[in-house]
Amino acid sequence: MSTQLDDNFVFGTTSSSQRENPTPSAFLNQDYVALRRAWVNEKRSPELLPYEFRTVENIVKIHRPQWTLINARQAQWAAGRDSHIRDLLIMEADRVEYMLKSYLRYRLFKIQKYARHYLGDPRRDSLLSPAEVRFASNMVSITENAFKSLFLRYLPQGDEYFQSLTASDDPGGDMIRRPKLDQTVFVRVNEHIGTIPTGNGDDTATLEKDHDYMIRYDLIKDFLLDNRVHLI
């Protein structure tokens, strides 16, 4: 007994011409590719990257119906000889779920560590999802309340002192924790960039397409945001 799979089981969305002349990439959902790259970039980046609104939304739309369909066909597969199909589909669904949750966990770790910094970032609306903004706001509120109740209330003008430490115009003159952008990362170049300054005197580096480099993050940050490189 064979099981016919409908399009809900295929992560890739294919056109009629692609079905007639299939290639491996034709069956690979591009949201899956985007999620995997966003996951690796977020994992390797020392700072929080812009939230992938569309990719996450599309993955969730695909993922939930897939589990519904798998559960609905459990009895059919158990009675037949297609348990291997069930196992493959469950493995793939688990893989996507792991990547999505891991992507969100890496982001929450950075938000928790640098909550006040990211709430004050002018790019906040594109950098954080609404749920992440609420999480960061709660983190800042809890931290401030604990700090004030355990320490500042015993100091004269404690509130004013706290405000002076968290409202400095000089990024290096306050107590707000910020990510260190001079960390070394590994990147792969998606398109030819050419020669860039390294910030070390007259030294330069040449970034060529499809080559891998070990380089300071702050030197390639803008290229990463423009998808001209990705982290590995």
Query: Tell me: the pLDDT tens digits for 29-60?
Result: 889 999 999 999 999 999 999 999 999 999 99
Q: What is the pLDDT of residues 129-176, one digit of tens each?
A: 999 999 999 998 888 888 777 777 777 766 666 666 666 555 555 678
Q: What is the pTM of this model?
A: 0.80
Q: Range(s) for CATH 3.40.5.60 in the chain? A: 180-232
Q: Range(s) for CATH 1.20.58.1030 in the chain? A: 7-178
CB within 8 Å of 55: residues ≥ 6 apart: 31, 34, 35, 38
Domain at 180-232, CATH class:
alpha beta
Q: Answer whether 198's CB lies under 8 Å from 219's CB.
A: yes
pLDDT for residue 163: 67
Give the confidence band of 207 by pLDDT, cuts at 50, 70, 90. very high
Q: How does DSSP classify residue 24?
A: G
Distances (CA, A) of 154 to 32, 145, 147, 159, 165: 53, 14, 11, 10, 17
Residue with tokens 């397409």: 209
Q: Answer whether 143's CB lies under 8 Å from 177's CB.
A: no
Distances (CA, A) of 12 to 28, 90, 223: 4, 16, 28
pLDDT for residue 2: 39
pLDDT for residue 49: 97
Fold of 7-178: Methane Monooxygenase Hydroxylase; Chain G, domain 1 (1.20.58)
Give dist(CA 66, CA 68) in Å, integer. Answer: 5
**DSSP states along 100-130:** HHHHHHHHHHHHHHSHHHHHT-TTHHHHS-H
